[in-house]
Chains A and B, each alone.
Chain A
Amino acid sequence: MGKKVAKEVSIAIADAVKLARAEVIAAYPITPQTHIVEHLSELVANGELDAEYITVESEHSAISASLGAVATGARTFTSTSSQGLALMHEILFIAPALRLPVVMVVANRALSAPISIWNDHSDIMAQRDIGWIQLWAENGQEAVDLVIQAFRIAEDRNVMFPTIVNIDGFTLSHVIEPVILPEQEEVDAFLPPFRPKYKLDPRKPLTMGPVGVPEIYFEAKKAQDEAFKNSRKVILRVWKDWANRFGREYHPVETYRLEDAEIALLINGSLAETAMTAVDKMREQGKKVGLIRFRLWRPFPIQEFRKAVAGLKVLGVIDRALTPGGVGGPLGTEVRAALYNAARRPRVVNFIAGLGGRDITVEDFEEMADRAAFYMKKRPKEAYETIGVRES
Chain B
Amino acid sequence: MIEIRLHGRGGQGAVTSAELIAISAINQDKYAQAFPSFGPERRGAPVMAFVRVSDERIRLREKVYHPDIVVVLDPSLPTIVKVTDGLKEDGWVILNSHKDEKTLREMLGGYQGKMAVVDATKIALEVLGLPITNTTMLGAFLKATGLVDRKYLEEALEHRFGRLAEKNKAAMARALEETKLYT
Contacts and interface: CB of A to CB of B under 8 A. Distances in A.
Nearest to B26: A6
Given A174-B35, A176-B23, A176-B34, A359 B63 contact: yes
A274 B60 contact: yes
Residue among B18, B23, B31, B35 with the highest chain A CB neighbour number at 10 A: B35
A24 interface: no
Contact of B23 (A6, A172, A276, A361): A6
Interface in A43-91: none
B70 interface: no
B142 interface: no
A362 B60 CA distance: 8
B33 interface: yes
Contact of B40 (A117, A177, A362): A117
Contact of A274 (B23, B36, B62): B62
B40 A271 contact: no
B61 interface: yes
B65 A6 contact: no
Given A6-B26, A170-B38, A178 B62 contact: no
A177 B65 contact: no
A335 B60 CA distance: 26
Interface in A183-202: none
Contacts of B60: 273-274, 277, 362
Contact of A4 (B19, B26, B36): B26
B59 interface: yes
Interface in A154-177: 168, 170-172, 174-177
A302 interface: no
A232 B18 CA distance: 41
Given A6-B27, A176-B19, A176-B23, A170 B62 contact: no
Given A6-B32, A175-B33, A361 B65 contact: yes
A94 interface: no
Majority DSSP secondary structure for residues of B touching A = mixed
A227 interface: no
Interface residues of B, number: 21
Interface residues of A, number: 27
Interface in B19-57: 19, 22-23, 26-27, 31-36, 38, 40
A118 interface: yes
A19 B18 CA distance: 28
A357 interface: yes
Interface string A111-137: 000000110000000000000000000
A277 B59 contact: yes
Nearest to A279: B59
A350 interface: no
A274 B59 contact: yes
Interface string A326-366: 00000000000000000000000000000001011110000
Interface string B61-75: 111010000000000
B31 to A, nearest CB: 6
A31 to B, nearest CB: 10
B62 A362 contact: yes
A270 interface: yes
Given A6-B23, A6-B27, A175 B35 contact: yes
Nearest to B63: A359
A179 B38 CA distance: 22
B36 A273 contact: no
Contacts of B35: 170-171, 174-176
Nearest to B34: A176
A223 interface: no
Q: Pick the most buried of A4, A178, A274, A362: most chain B CB atoms within 10 A of its CB.
A: A178
8 contacts: A6-B26, A8-B19, A176-B22, A176-B35, A177-B22, A177-B26, A177-B33, A357-B38
Interface of A: 4-6, 8, 32, 117-118, 168, 170-172, 174-178, 270-271, 273-274, 276-277, 357, 359-362
Interface of B: 18-19, 22-23, 26-27, 31-36, 38, 40, 58-63, 65
Given A8-B19, A274-B59, 17 more contacts: A6-B23, A118-B38, A168-B61, A171-B35, A174-B38, A175-B61, A176-B19, A176-B32, A176-B33, A176-B35, A177-B58, A178-B31, A178-B32, A271-B61, A274-B62, A277-B60, A361-B62
